[in-house]
Structure formats: structure tokens, C-alpha cells
Structure 1
Amino acid sequence: MTKPHILQVGPYPEWDETPLNAAFAVHRYFEAADKQAFLAEIGPDIRGIATRGELGASRAMIEACPNLEVISVYGVGYDAVDLAACRERGIRVTNTPDVLTKDVADLGVAMMLCQSRGVIGAETWVRDGSWAGRGLYPLRRRVWGRRAGILGLGRIGLEVAKRLKGFDMQISYSSTRPKPEADGLTFVADPVALARDVDFLFVTLAASAATRHIVGREVIAALGENGMLINISRASNIDEEALLDALEQGTLGSAALDVFEGEPALNPRFLALDNVLLQPHHASGTIETRKAMGQLVRDNLQAHFAGAPLPTPVL
């Protein structure tokens, strides 16, 4: 039986590459020197696309594959997939929710703790001899008992809230509507009002045209010179220029970021700041979760070509 032809947009770990190649005829887009020519040659054969959340699938890529049936995203975010083009052509889209939720929440809370308690700076203080030569590390701010806000109370936001409760924090959230599952949390409809009343603001929104730059100058100003912004969602949810201005001017206390516009080539202004914690978009970066994500990518592709219900459909 002929294997379905799949366009692989970006690399996966070896434990995913091997079974993907066993199940499908895989065409590795990311290895092509002339990608336009590559798509022109193999596009008509392609029935499925296996991509990553940050890479997605553009309208041009979709149009170059006239027999495309399904796009399987390795990641929970699918904002880089042109959904309008998929709807026009009846193309199914899937992602990998749930399997990465708790790891992402773990990293968000770890980033808050690391930045608030100065863990990286303190470790450098020991290594470079400052402890012996200059004395105790400068005091930082506590976490427990303070106020946290969660912008977007979906799966990841709820897991963040669950962890924050262990620190006896006052927790508020903003979402499209009050959530019945938000036990013990305070609903605040306006993101600016949410930011004004918290010390730590976690951004856990799904990205869309409606949420682009939702954390803009007003929200950042409301969070203020003692506040911390933690982003474990998508870079587009934050106005990076406004964020950088506030961090440089001290009108925002600090930030902890796992995602950036144009990553991995992030804005060099970030690298000059000592009040921002930078992470390489690895909130889901555990062996266990990445294996589960890869399995779900393949499960969705195999279900589609077998005519079975998709495990995690988006479209």
C-alpha cells in the first residue's frame, strides 16, 4: 500500500523522525536549498503537513499543495497556520493540547521564582567571587502571599493557578467570561484593571488576531515599576516595543519571557537588560512531553488517512 506523502516543515527529535518516516513518505521542507522549487516539484503529491507551532503553514505553502487534506501541528499553538486558507479548501487542522499543559505551567512558575528571587544573578555572584569579595547578594522580593494575575484562563492558565495556590497567593484572572472551574479565583474582565491589581502577570492566552498586542502600553503601565510580566503563551500577545521601552525606563519592574517575535533572532535590546529573564521557547521542553507531542502528531495524521475521528481537531 502506498504511504501518504507528508511535507515535514521543521525537524523533530530522532524518536519522532524514525516512526514518522516509517509511516509516511516524508519530504523534508526544511532541508531544501530552494524551497519554492522544492514545493513546485513535490507539492501535488502532498496530502498532509507535519509542522511545529511556531513554523505553521502559510497560505503560499498550502496553495502549493493542491491535494492537501490535513495539517498536524506539533504544539498547542496554531496561529502560524493560515486557517482561512484551510477553511476555504476543507483542510483539517490538529494540534497537541493537554500533553504539554503541565510542563508549560511548571516553567512559568519556575520563571517567576527565578526572577523574583534573583536565582541566576545569585549563582553568578557565587561563581565570580562576589560572595567572598563583596558579601551577601542584594535582597530580592518574596513570592508567597503576593498577588498574581492570569491573562487567559484556559488549560495552561488553570494549571498555573493550581500551582500558585501553593504559595498562598491572591489570584485573579481575565478571560472572555467568568469560568465556573476557577474556584477561589477572582474574575476581572479588563486586562488593564487586572494588571493594576497584581504583582505578577502571567500571559497564558491562545494567540489570535483579537489578542495581538493585548499586553500593550496600558497593561504594562498598569503593572508598574514593581510588577513582573511572565509570558508562556505567544510573542504576538505582547507589544515588544512597549515592553522593551518600559523595561529600559524602569516603568515595568521585570519580565520573564519564553517567546519572542522573530525568534530565535530576538531583538538585541533584550540582551542588554538585567531585569528580564530570557528562555529559548522551551516551556514544553521535557523528554516526556515532547515524546507525547510527537506521538499525537502521528496519531492525528494516521487517524485522518484511516478515515477515523481526529484525536485533537482544530478544524
Structure 2
Amino acid sequence: MVIVADENIPLLDSFFDEIGAIRRVSGRELTAAEVRDADVLLVRSVTQVDEALLRGSRVKFVGTATIGTDHVDQRWLQEQGIRFACAPGCNANSVVEYVLSVLSLHAERLDIKDWTDLSVGIVGAGNVGGALWRTLSRLGITVRVCDPFRESEEDSDDFGSLDQALGCDVVSLHTPLTHTGGHPTYHMLDRQRLAGMNENQLLINTSRGEVIDCDALLDRLQASHAPTVVLDVWEHEPEINPRLAQGVWLATPHIAGYSLEGKVQGTEVIYQALSRFLGLPARKQSGQFLPEPPLSKLAFTRSAQARDAADTAIRACYDPRRDDARLRRTLRLPAEERGAAFDRLRRDYPVRREFSSVKIQLKGTSRSLQDQFRVLGFKLKL
């Protein structure tokens, strides 16, 4: 059995070497010729999987180690009898921690002592947005959620319209990219909606670049009273607009979900799906392959202030300013080299571990501080 796989999927050998012969390829540059003799195709979001890629191949199973599926023509796969699997929720926690780190920096920047003074509008409450909603609510932050599909099925006072979500102090986007249906998300934040945002607001996009009309966003950032913007996703990746990147507060190369745990869980999910498809036992789990984290413990004494302690722990695990600096260095390259540099930042991304990999030692600290660390996902040693 031949398995063609994106070279950026972690632990390919650990999970799949007993199933078939693995051939690693560049996901961005994958061609029909490279996949023609494959039985299994494993991709990430940079590969467009459709008739043009797979027509005439012998592929019977396609797996994407990502939560998004807009790069896959699922209808065509189904018509051809090709089994498809994705990894919903695999990196949700990683994206939540990205947003929390951004909020930590934002609160410090504005000298906000208490996160609960902020209101957060979450647009899209699927695996990622839903996880963020739960975490922020447990931290005591006021949340307004826009998700027409969930709202029609659930009863919660947190649901509101898109305009209500866009009126919050912080707006975090977590929608899939859709062009049709009752609630299409392509250019959902258009020129008119962006004009309604002001200098007191923070806009974060970790979903899909095309959810925002980025030409309109660039114009808005150059106008008066513009909001503060954090972009992890971009229109026309990897050829991102350097003027837009220079105009936002934080610019990162589509890595919000790139924690090691998130990436490995994505691999595990498609391994399990392929094992079921082939009728094989799924004996391997991601936990058995995770290495010891470089940072394993932080200690705080009774004199620690809750906000300062949380900021210290969050940024010790992940500080998006490092990724921002790496991306901005690529903007100095000649235009024809920037796309490849963007992809290299993702391919060669340094190991980033989630909060759960760090044990927090608390000596004589308050109950509220203990509860805060638990909500954030750290392990506690009292």
C-alpha cells in the first residue's frame, strides 16, 4: 500500500509505517502525477483535493489532519467512492491558547488590570469558537456569541447577532469559509462592517483569511480611528499582502493551531479513521509519542498577583510576538521569495507545547488563583 503524505504532518512513521510505504511530498506543490499510484492521500489545508488532483488515481482514502475542510471537494470524493476523514477539534485548544495570549498582551497594552472588564464577541462557535466560549465564560469574561446554526438548536443568553458580536471590545473570528447557504462567510467582514469598528476594539482572525475583505481592511487601517487587528490567516496565502501585514498589530503565519499536541492529535485522528477503513486495530495514541516539554514547571508564592502570574505562565508557554517577528522578517525579502518563506515558517515551526504540559506549583496562593490556572488548562501542584 502506498501512502502519499504532506511532509509537514508530524509522526507519519510512528503512526503509519506499519500500514504502508510512506512517500512524503510538498503539500503546496503536490501534483496529480505524484499521487496517481497512491492508495491513501494524507494532506493539510494547503493542498486542494479535487477531481483535478485525483482523477485517474487509485486513491481510496483521503485524510486531512486539519479541522478545516474547504480545501477538499467532498462531494466529488463521495461520488467516486473515496472515503474522506478530517480531524475536527484536533487543534482547538491550541487556537484558544493563541487567543488567550493575544488577550493577555492586549490587556497589558491598554493597562487593563482585570480581564473581566473586557467583552468578547465570538463569531462561529464550532469546535474552536465553542472551546474559547467555555474558557472565557469560566474566567468571568462577558461573551457574545454569533452562530446562527448553534443558536437555532440551543438556548443561551450569550447568543446574539453578528452586529452585536462586532460591538464587543474584542472580536474573535472562528468560522469556516463558505460561499453559499443562508450564512455565507466569504468577506463576511466587508467594508461596511469594518467601518463600524473603532480604535477601542481588537479584531482577531484565526479562521480563514477570506472571511475578511482584506482590501477593505487595509483601507480601514489607513483611515482614522481604526481598530487594532491581529491576523493569523490571510487572503491569497502564501502570497500575503505586505502592506496589510505591516498595518496590523500582530501578524503570524497561519500557526494559531500549531501546538505540538494539536498537530499530533490531527495525525492520530486520521490514523484512527484509516485503521477503521482498512479494518485494522488502532493501537497507537498520540500521548505515547509526545516528548518531554522544554518547560515543565513554574512556581508561584503567596505574594503572586493573579493577573501577573497568569500572564507570566501564558507567555512562558506561548508569546505570539515571536511569530510576528519571524513573519515580519520575511517581508523584507524580494516579492518573489516571500511566498516560499511563508511556507517555510510553517514547515520549520519550532516546537510549541500547550498549557497542559506545564505544572504550576502554588505555595500559599489564593483559591481564585488556583481556579484561574485550572480554567486556563495548566496542571496544578498545591
TM-score (norm 1): 0.77
Give the counterpart of 2:267 among 265, 282, 294. 294
Residue 93 in structure 1 maps to residue 63 in structure 2: no
Asked which structure has the greater RCO (Cα within 8 Å, sep 6+), the reply is 1
Q: What does residue 242 of structure 2 align with?
A: 268
Task: Look up the equivalent residue of 2:89 and give its one-letter code.
Answer: D
> Which SS does the other structure have where 1:49 is aligned?
strand
Q: What does residue 150 of structure 1 align with?
A: 122
Q: What does residue 19 of structure 1 align with?
A: 15
Any idea what the Cα deviations from partners look like across 1:189-225, whole Å, max 9, x if unmatched? 3x23431x21111101122222111122222222223
Tell me if structure 1 keeps the 8 A contact 2:49–2:73. Answer: yes
User: d(CA) in 2 for partners of 1:306 and 1:192?
Assistant: 48
Residue 303 in structure 1 maps to residue 276 in structure 2: yes
Tell me the number of residue pairs that the alignment of Structure 1 and Structure 2 aligns: 276
Tell me if structure 2 keeps the 8 A contact 1:146–1:170. Answer: yes
Task: Look up the equivalent residue of 2:8 and give its one-letter code.
Answer: P
Any idea what the Cα deviations from partners look like across 1:130-187, whole Å, max 9, x if unmatched? xxxxxxxxx55564322211111112112112222255332111112416667551x2
Any idea what the Cα deviations from partners look like across 1:81-127, whole Å, max 9, x if unmatched? 12232233132221112332222112112223323433xxxxxxxxx
- Residues 1-315 of structure 1 mapped to structure 2, 5 A cutoff: 4-13=1-10, 15-30=11-26, 36=31, 39-40=32-33, 43=36, 45-65=37-57, 67-118=58-109, 140=111, 143-177=115-149, 178=151, 183-185=156-158, 187-189=159-161, 191-195=162-166, 197-209=167-179, 210-273=184-247, 275-306=248-279
Tell me if structure 2 keeps the 8 A contact 1:115–1:277. Answer: no
Task: Look up the equivalent residue of 1:263 and give its one-letter code.
Answer: E
Any idea what the Cα deviations from partners look like across 1:236-293, whole Å, max 9, x if unmatched? 22211112221222443111122112334321013422x4211222222222222222
The offset of 1:12, in angstroms, is: 2.2
Quick one: structure 1 residues 252 and 86, their matched pair in 2 at CA, closer, same or farther if it must change by over 3 Å?
Answer: farther
Quick one: structure 1 residues 257 and 201, their matched pair in 2 at CA, closer, same or farther if it must change by over 3 Å?
Answer: same
The offset of 1:68, in angstroms, is: 2.2
User: d(CA) in 1 for partners of 2:118 and 2:27?
Assistant: 48
Quick one: structure 1 residues 289 and 71, their matched pair in 2 at CA, closer, same or farther if it must change by over 3 Å?
Answer: same
> Which SS does the other structure have where 2:268 is aligned?
helix
User: Equivalent pairs: percent with the same residue?
Assistant: 22
Tell me if structure 1 keeps the 8 A contact 2:35–2:54. Answer: no
Structure 2 residue runs without a partner (length 5+): 283-382
User: d(CA) in 1 for partners of 2:27 and 2:185?
Assistant: 33
User: d(CA) in 1 for partners of 2:100 and 2:47?
Assistant: 26
Tell me if structure 2 keeps the 8 A contact 1:54–1:77. Answer: no
Structure 1 residue runs without a partner (length 5+): 119-138, 310-315
> Which SS does the other structure have where 2:216 is aligned?
helix
Task: Look up the equivalent residue of 2:80 and give its one-letter code.
Answer: R
User: d(CA) in 2 for partners of 1:260 and 1:282?
Assistant: 11
The offset of 1:41, in angstroms, is: 6.6
Misfit runs of 4+, over 4 Å: 139-143, 179-184
RMSD: 2.8
